Amino acid sequence: MWIFDARATRDGVEFWCRDRGSVRHHAVAYTPSFFFSLTDPHLHCGLLDAIEERFGAAECTFETVYGPVDGYRVCAGRRAAEAIERETRYAARLYNVDVRLEQRYLVERGLFPCAYPGEPRCAAAFEVPLSSMHVTVDAPPRQSSPLSQVTVKHGRTETFSGSPRTVVADLLACVKAFDPDLILFPHADFWMHRIAEQAEDSGLPAPFSRTGCFRSLGSRSYWSYGRREYRPAALIPDGRILIDTEQSFVYREGGVRGVLIASRITGLAPNLAARYTPGTLISAYEAAEALRRGIAVPFRKWDAEGVRGCAELRAADRGGLIFQPDPALHFRVAQIDFTSLYPTIIVRDNLSPETIRAPGRRGFLPEVLEPLLAFRIATKQQKKSDPSCAGIDCVLKWMLVTCFGYTGYKNARFGQIEVHERITAAAREILLRSKEIAEEMGLSVLHGIVDCLWVQGSGVEEFKRRVEAATGISTEREDYDWIVFLPQADGTGACNRYYGRLSGGEVKVRGILARRRDTPAYIREMQRDLLAAMGEAAGPAELLALEEQARGICRRYRDGLAGADPEDLAIRRRISRLTYAGNRMEGAAVRAIQRRGVEVAPGMEVAFVVRDAARVVVDPAWDAGGIDAGYYGALVEKAWGEVAFAFRCLHEKNNAAIEANAGNT
């Protein structure tokens, strides 16, 4: 029995599985329950009597991460739990209220999605017994786009065209005939609403659903790591996996196997795992592991932070450590990167909310993160010989990255700001100790940022071994033939803007225009061409010899700007609000898109072309009326400037060498 979809119903849980080559649907009765505790139950005698009479509440002792708690077990759902909160004026502490019902049902029976019973969850190699289909609407995802042509791939390729009714009817007939378990569909969460509306208007059955029903996932604007994000509304069919291959972060990073491994680890159905953020996934994993261990999951956060003085806060809350680089071109440089540094610190130092005051006990967070961390370290090694593991490794990396962030998140069930501070303090000590080891060995430390160091000199492999021995944390090494650390506007080194040629010939970039999401495709392609040309050079003489070729590439793109496709000049920005003070490009883009009848929400990404930068006039990317040649010419120069910095450094070194030789003579 290989479960690939599950959902809660009014009476219990339904799930779909592959069993002996066929799809089977199971519906089981399941009544949820939750726990709550009261500091002084005598103050709420009337409420307790009413709960006992209506729901059969029973006194019990249940486990939390802090130990056993005396309280009550109630066989009811979230509405009853919230009523108890209100009646007790939020004095009641509730547990297991909002854990997803289907997730809880599977966990309690030792099952998890996308695996056969008895199969290990943390395994990169696993069978996927699903039939799949690719669906593409041959039009951009806009309200004005006609639903007039759809391409379907399922062993062979079919194209359906005509009126929307004809296209939808042919598409549904194809889905019914092939009966796939998995549908990969770019912008599915946009097009499914259009397809469902057309099917309903035409009297056709509900598309893609094996029961004729959908689950709705509402649209949502939210803040995540300091920026506004947006999740579009989704229609999720029963009995099939439907992945929006453009909107799903997990799919983009990990592919199908990445989505399935996220489902296996968290206990969530793949349809949800594909649509959730890594932070939600790690939170779901922690909740599932708590239930598996018989630990109650808090409903509200009540242990976020204790009262502390200013001096204590100043000493504790100092964040990650950065050694600012010297903006320059360097040759023969090694980068030492700690593998999953923050999660490793959590496990190594036994950091968890309940161990802050009682360090002698094994903490919940280290216990549940240890197998996930071991899995990630294994896949990171495995992907070197088996590229199919790369997607799984990437999903695990993002989940482990966010597990650190969630320790400081105010609403994290199993987080606490003091844990977050101790993790960053340990990381600072690790980076400082690594720097000291490098300097003791005569290596030059060029740059350091939180979990990695760039060093120059001989004996790097011995340095790597000593760092691992001193810290107990594994590291990865990358060697650069040359690397450029770019300057900031004030002339100091930028900590996150660099590019360089790795010893294998690949050019690695971070923070420059070729890497930024908001860079127009035309500018990005220009800088990639420049870096590809520079990547042919392994040493300073070869690099300097490429300068004229690089200048020629820049001239070609500068001269071709007037004839470029406006859509290739589109700037993509994520909007944080719908109204902006002053003349902002984002505000002008929102107004231009709204004038064309398109709904916009905070967190959405908008694409626009600048028609007049001085007057802040922009057009939607699909309806551009022209470009501001001066504005885009400046972007070309900026992209060239980031690359030309390397040549300027070479000329300065040559001039310095000439002057030194002249002085010696």
Over the stretch 639-649, which tens digit does the pLDDT of each residue have?
Answer: 999 999 999 99
Give the model's pLDDT for residue 231.
84
Give the model's pLDDT for residue 276.
93
Give the model's pLDDT for residue 407.
83
Give the model's pLDDT for residue 405.
82
Residues of the chain with pLDDT under 70: 225-226, 304-306, 315, 657-665
Domains of the chain, residue spans: 34-95, 315-369+415-511
Give the model's pLDDT for residue 663.
61
- The radius of gyration of the chain's CA atoms, rounded to the nearest angstrom, is 28
315-369+415-511 domain in CATH 3.40.50.620?
no
Give the model's pLDDT for residue 467.
97
Helix (H) or strand (E) holding 134: strand 132-137
The set of long-range contacts for 200-208, using a CB threshold of 8 Å and a minimum separation of 24, is 201/165, 202/165, 202/168, 202/169, 204/168, 204/169, 204/172, 205/172, 206/237, 207/168, 207/171, 207/172, 207/175, 207/237, 208/172, 208/175, 208/183, 208/237, 208/240, 208/242
Give the model's pLDDT for residue 223.
76
Tell whether pTM > 0.75. Answer: yes
Q: CA torsion 346→349→353→359, rounded to 10°? A: 160
Give the model's pLDDT for residue 104.
95
| 191 neighbors 177 (Cβ within 8 angstroms) | no
Give the model's pLDDT for residue 373.
95
| Tokens linked to 50 | 């009413």
Tens digit of each residue's pLDDT (9 = 90 or more) over 430-455: 999 999 999 999 999 999 998 999 99
Phi and psi for 494 in degrees, rounded to 5?
-85, 135
